[in-house]
Amino acid sequence: MGHFLCSHMRLFTALIFFCLSLPTSLLSQGLASPVVQQPAAPSEAPAVAPSGTIERLTKQHILASIPPNAAEHSQAFLSSPSGQYVGYLVRSGTAPGAGGFGNDFCYVQVRDVSTGASVWESDCTPASTSNTCSLVFTDAGLEVFDGSQSAWDAGVDAEHLETLELVDEGDMRMRTRDGELAWKASDRPLANQRCGELGSPGMPSALPRFAAPIEDSRNLPFGQPSTQGGQLQQQQPGGALLNQQPPQPVSGFAQAVGESGQHPLVDNTPFDSGCTRAYHCWSATAFALVLALVAYCFHF
């Protein structure tokens, strides 16, 4: 009997050691009750603005910025749903020889991508060459900053501006949070200003009245005739030169002065002493000397 108990004890001890040698994961799977996984609750997708629309998330929503001396002179910030029209912040410098103060110009431009043509632009806004140009969506609508200073804004008179959109017609619009239309670019059509070039807004005109070549008769002073296209000396078929007389002045004074030469402001008449004949001049001189001698004698 004792031998039987000892053999069973050995068998039971061996069974215990065998169970302890098994991996823990198998024991937990065998002993633990199955876990039923609950389906995950669907997460709420964040609100996405429709294509061609920007929602203002902050009071000053920065759309684009271009630092001075940047390699790229334009930065896109909005595209129409079809992709045909794109809104850019553009920075252009003053063209050589255009005059002005040498500053840069920053402005908003809507461009037709298929042709590259400008369909709308904001005003040519001067900006310092050392400041960053930024386009910001603010309470005033679109606003261009020269550094930290506001240089231009759309002047929107509405509260709670929320969305900026570019439609497939190329028109840029702004709406309030209630969906009310507050501003659209087509109300102020402006394009192809060539900001910074000669003759563009804020720059001198291309050809000032006094800057054309002197051969151009339109700029000769006092209505003088041009020598180009109507030379004073014309070549005749036989090779002779025909001297054309200049137009005579209307005034009698001008005629008297200018007849002896071709310089209307110079009198070329020979110097005249005032005596028409030499005899009268010597007679008057002798008579004056006699009177002086008689007066001297009577005095003494």
Higher pLDDT residue, 198 or 128?
128
Residue 102 lies in a domain: yes
- Residue 179 has a pLDDT of 94
Q: Is residue 274 in a domain?
A: no
Mean model confidence pLDDT for the chain: 72
257 within some domain:
no
Residue 213's pLDDT is 47
Mean pLDDT of 255-270: 42
CATH of the domain at 141: 2.90.10
Q: Is residue 173 part of a domain?
A: yes
Of the candidates 75, 91, 148, the residue with the CA atom closest to the CA atom of residue 124: 91
pLDDT band at 264 (very low <50, low <70, confident <90, very high): very low
pLDDT given at position 196: 78
pTM higher than the cut 0.75: no
Of 37-46, 75-84, 223-232, 242-251, the range with the lowest mean pLDDT is 37-46
Structurally, how many domains does the chain consist of? 1
Is 134 part of a structural domain of the chain?
A: yes
Q: Please give the pLDDT value at position 157.
A: 85
Q: Is residue 246 a part of any domain in this protein?
A: no
* Domain annotation covers residue 278: no
Instruction: Please state the rounded mean pLDDT for residues 189-196.
Output: 87
Task: Please tell me the predicted confidence (pLDDT) of residue 277.
Answer: 54
> Residue 243's beta-bridge partner residues?
233
pLDDT of residue 94: 82
Instruction: Assign 13 a pLDDT band (cuts: 50, 70, 90).
Output: low
- Specify the long-range contacts of residues 173-178, CB closer than 8 Å, at least 24 apart: 174/141, 174/142
**128 occurs within a structural domain:** yes
pLDDT at 281: 61
- pLDDT tops 60 at residue 159: yes
Domain hosting 105: range is 53-187
